[in-house]
Amino acid sequence: MELMLSICIGIGLSAACGYRVFVPLLGMGIAAASGHITLPVEYEWIGSGPAIAAFALAALLEISAYYIPFVDNVMDTVATPAAVIAGAIVMSSLVTDVSPFLKWSLAIIAGGGTAALFQGSTTLIRSTSTVTTAGMGNFAVSTIETGMSLILTLLAFILPFIAGLIILFAFIFLVKMALKKTRQWNRN
């Protein structure tokens, strides 16, 4: 049961990394510093004062950059690999007392993969918004993405199983949408 709880928290935070890279890391640092979660020795630095301050500054800068037209599209390019790495770090720090093979398989596939999926979907949404509104609609997109990152981060800690279910349903929805688009492209 503890492993499932850790996986649900990790998947929730990894999905949040797909929306904003540093918001879930900040949440994780605060949770570790307050004693809400216990991190393995090699990840205790995440809950340190300097790390929390760095995550807070990075989150503020990241959120702010997404409100600058066209910079937001550049941020998506930079954020994609960063989100995958953050998702893997989050998952690997939460899944403990398992074999290294299972830990890193979950970190890369579930953590990094979930972050990549959500980051990829936000990139497509932002690109569509940029094309259809000349970037003017990106303000709303950025606000929703930041809100989703905050909500998923909080939900991962407060109701991790619900967060896991939401991510599962979102994953199924995104895969169905991708398959639908692929079929449309193949017809043309």
pLDDT at res. 134? 84
Unique residue bearing structure tokens 């807070």: 56
Give this prediction's pTM.
0.91
Residue % of the chain over a pLDDT of 70: 99
Give the span between the Cα atoms of 137 and 23, in whole angstroms.
22
Which is nearest to 170 in space by CA: 137, 185, 150, 148?
148
Q: Is there a contact between 63 and 146 (Cβ–Cβ < 8 Å)?
A: yes
Least confident among 11-20, 31-40, 66-75, 95-104: 66-75
Domain limits of the chain?
A: 2-187
Question: 87-125: per-residue pLDDT in tens?
Answer: 999 999 999 889 999 999 999 999 999 999 999 888 888
Question: 42-82: per-residue pLDDT in tens?
Answer: 999 999 999 999 999 999 999 999 998 888 888 988 999 99
Residue 21 pLDDT grade (very low, low, confident, very high; cuts 50, 70, 90): very high
Unique residue bearing structure tokens 């993969």: 113
pLDDT at res. 183? 85
- In this structure, the dihedral spanned by the alpha carbons of residues 38, 44, 47 and 48, taken in order and rounded to 10 degrees, is 150
DSSP-derived letter for residue 112 is I
